[in-house]
Amino acid sequence: MDSRYDPKGVEDRWQRTWEADGLYQAGAGARPAQAGDETFVICVPPPNVTGELHMGHALNGSMQDCLTRWHRMRGYDTLWQPGYDHAGIATQNVVEKQLIAEGTTRQELGRDAFLERTWEWLDRTGRTIMGQYRRLGASLDYSRERFTMDPGYVESVMTFFVRLWDAGWIYRANRIVNWCPYHQTALSDLEVEHVEADDALTYVRYPFADGSGSITIATVRPATILADVAIAVHPDDPRYADAIGKEVVVPVVGRRIPVIADTRVEPEFGSGALKITPGHDPLDFEIGRDHGLETLTAIGPDGRMIAEGFEGLTQAEAEQQVLDWLKAHDQLAKRESLHHAVGTCERCHTRIEPLISPQWWCRMDELAAPAIDALEAGRVRFHPESQHRFAIDSLKGAPDWCVSRQLWWGHQIPIWTCPDGHLTCEWPPPEACGECGSTELVRETDVLDTWFSSALWPFATLGWPEQTPELERYYPGNVNVTAREIIRLWENRMIFSGLFLMGEVPFTDVIINSTVLAVDGRRMSKSLGTGIDPLEAVDKHGADALRYGLLKISSTQDVRFSWGAIEEGGKLANKLWNVARLIFQHAEGIAPIARPEALEERWILGRIDETRRELDELWPQFDFAHAADALYHLVFDDFCDWYAEAIKPRLYEGEEAAVATALAALERLLALLHPVQPHVTEEIWAQFHERRLILGPWPEPLAAAEGAASDALTRVQDAATTFRRSGVVVALEGEEKRIFDAVVKPERATSTGDVDAECARLRKEIARGEGMLANEKFVSSAPAEVVEAEREKLARYQRELEALGC
């Protein structure tokens, strides 16, 4: 072994070796006799085909790989399914920008040529993120890579749509949607980015039609006054009790509209009176629908005005004309500054226009009901529990799903129209109209929402709608890991799609991983200058260090990135490397067999087994942070600082039993750490094994109890704490004294400690601890781990005081 561990050479070599040897493939190393022929399946959340690895991917991937490696080591038939999402608007946006830079547009190119150009670009530069996952050591079955626009996947998507149509759940309707004027398409909520903006809140007087005065409204968008159909006030607002039922006159256009009462109006905002413009605001659309109001439109799909007399103007130009009219007619009450969040397209950053648009919709009532039942029955569990409740609530309140997009890149909706207007929904494509037999069919030009196709990911990747052997073996899967912002957009849709098409939930557990924030607590973002490339961390400290550091900080839903945690992971790998070198220097010709003869040997085997038992509880609970912490203390504190130091003299003296036991203990230690730090553990393992650690075995429980050894080492460790703090030497005998002398080396002390002073200090600490624990308010309100830490400190102080004989 080299004197210094260099992750760069080691990690790259093992990544290539594992994959080349087929050890990432489904079924690799499966031991049916030991694991009951069980499978363990995770589907990677398909990243955008244009994407690059960010810190969320790195944490998400580390969690999935940790679980996959743990199950693989235990003999499970594991499948970690890789692949990409075609990413609809994201991909189209990239190619459109290229065309604009070349002095042309997709419209000039035409649909067919644009799609050909997109495929060429993807083949040339897309799908890079899997190479970055390899840098992390992610043990995905790369041989099974899928894409949501593969020919087989297209079959899955088209079949899903047709079955929804046949169930009577697909329909076309004019509804208000998030509309991007630049891309001229509807957007999902996830594709809308809310940014802070400074606007003016304009107060406008609307005169009553009977001449009895006026009512003042406040609006951020004066240009939409042209499409007003009502004024709404809260029914309990005393200021407007006499106005309800009257009519007012809309400024500029002179239209008479009613004053209505609705509890959705916020009396505290603006003047408390809300102008209702159903064609340009989601809340107004709902209020207008519920009150039977007409819907008028003043703004077109390109974001420019279409209202009579204002055609072709920008909204800013129209707003100025409206303001000039209001001033001229003394109906402009005032204007004041307003800082608020506005929706923009996350790709082009154009301000979102809520617009009424003819779209294809999927009814959600019957589709969502089985998924709600499955979640409430616990057949699928979200972790943490707070996200489980959110998943249920978001399904219960789910509006009908807008499944259409006015893009060119994506899955074209399988609906054809004949000259008589009959609709035919079939797949494969029909040769004639299903109603009148006409062969003159025109296919719908809209494509499907990206989430429509990704909803099929757990089973479309296995060959559905064909009943393949892979589908039979690996569906349903086990775990899904993702971010909380796509629970309703992806997780819930996979659940109800799996139940609808397969009759089974697609997985049993959903881990909502932490959102990794910048070091200063802001959102990680390239545009904000707060983004950190995970490959930068890999280059600096290695993939093992990054994986460990991310898992270590993953205990809450929002965590700040920590270079310190990554550096700690690097130190852990180095510490392990150095202790392995120490053992191997004395191990030539000696086989790893546990033959514990001394106290420290029985103790370390017990500590390793205790940690194994702890990990066997933590991994199924998806408690990665505590698992990483347990491994750190086992390696640093127990194995290196205590056990290795205690056996050094015996290693140097060439005691064969001590070396054999050290090798056996190292074996078990490497196995426990492998799911978190696979590269350094495999490299050390290869120094004394031919078979690969990636295939296990995961350590079996030890038969012998090690309680006595644990108690003895606790006394030695307490004595070490006392000595290092005060210089006072606690009286020990036999093996306990030998270990204390070997590890602590008290002969190096330059002064003798004051026993009386140390006793006084311990009594003071005990009194403080007893006081805190006697405080019922502290015990009941403080976090459980804080209370437990106080109990542990109190017990240690009491042991130390007793050992000193005070």
Q: What is the pTM of this model?
A: 0.90
| pLDDT score of 36 more than 60 | no
Exposure string over 183-196, b if 16+ CB within 10 A, otherwise e: bebbbbeebeeeee
Structure tokens at 664: 């056996």
708 confidence band (pLDDT: 50, 70, 90): low
| pLDDT score of 750 more than 80 | no
| Nearest-angstrom CA–CA distance, 147 and 154 | 10
| Nearest-angstrom CA–CA distance, 312 and 306 | 6
- Residue 434's pLDDT is 94
- Rounded to an integer, the average pLDDT of 98-107 is 94
| pLDDT score of 706 more than 80 | no
Least confident span in 170-174, 254-258, 627-631, 722-726: 722-726
| Nearest-angstrom CA–CA distance, 665 and 596 | 10
- Residue 602's pLDDT is 93
| pLDDT score of 761 more than 80 | yes
- Rounded to an integer, the average pLDDT of 51-65 is 93
206 confidence band (pLDDT: 50, 70, 90): very high
380 confidence band (pLDDT: 50, 70, 90): very high
Residue-wise pLDDT for 423-441, tens only, equals 999 999 999 999 999 999 9
| Nearest-angstrom CA–CA distance, 442 and 418 | 7
SS3 content of the chain, % helix, strand, coil (to 5): 50, 15, 35
- Residue 520's pLDDT is 86
- Residue 32's pLDDT is 65
Supply the DSSP symbol for 530. -
Least confident span in 119-133, 277-291, 477-491: 119-133
Least confident span in 27-41, 598-612, 613-627: 27-41
700 confidence band (pLDDT: 50, 70, 90): very high
- Residue 190's pLDDT is 74
- Rounded to an integer, the average pLDDT of 68-77 is 96
- Rounded to an integer, the average pLDDT of 47-58 is 90
Structure tokens at 231: 């004024």
| pLDDT score of 35 more than 60 | no
Tell me the CA distances in angstroms from 119 to 90, 110, 116, 347, one per residue in order: 14, 14, 5, 20
- Rounded to an integer, the average pLDDT of 135-142 is 97
Residue-wise pLDDT for 570-597, tens only, equals 999 999 999 999 999 999 999 999 999 9
Residue-wise pLDDT for 408-418, tens only, equals 999 999 999 99
Residue-wise pLDDT for 302-358, tens only, equals 999 999 999 999 999 999 999 999 999 999 999 999 999 999 998 889 999 999 999
Task: Supply the DSSP string of 315-342, one letter for each residue.
Answer: HHHHHHHHHHHHHHTT-EEEEEEEEEEE
- Residue 783's pLDDT is 87
- Residue 666's pLDDT is 98
Structure tokens at 797: 């102080």
- Percentage of the residues of the chain whose pLDDT score is greater than 70: 99
Identify the three-state secondary structure at position 190: helix
| pLDDT score of 365 more than 60 | yes
33 confidence band (pLDDT: 50, 70, 90): low
- No. of H helices and E strands in the chain? 29, 25
Identify the three-state secondary structure at position 640: helix
- Rounded to an integer, the average pLDDT of 247-271 is 97
- Percentage of the residues of the chain whose pLDDT score is greater than 90: 80
- Rounded to an integer, the average pLDDT of 60-76 is 97
* β-pair type (273-276, 230-233): antiparallel
Least confident span in 49-53, 243-247, 358-362: 49-53
- Residue 555's pLDDT is 87
| pLDDT score of 736 more than 80 | yes
Nearest to 303 by CA among 285, 317, 323, 322: 317
| pLDDT score of 640 more than 90 | yes
- Rounded to an integer, the average pLDDT of 265-280 is 96
Least confident span in 189-203, 221-235, 736-750: 736-750
Residues 6+ apart with CB under 8 A from 576: 635, 640, 669, 670, 673, 677, 680, 681, 684
**In the predicted model, what is the mean pLDDT of the chain?**
94
- CB 479, CB 42: distance < 8 Å: yes
| pLDDT score of 527 more than 90 | no
Least confident span in 377-391, 658-672, 713-727: 713-727
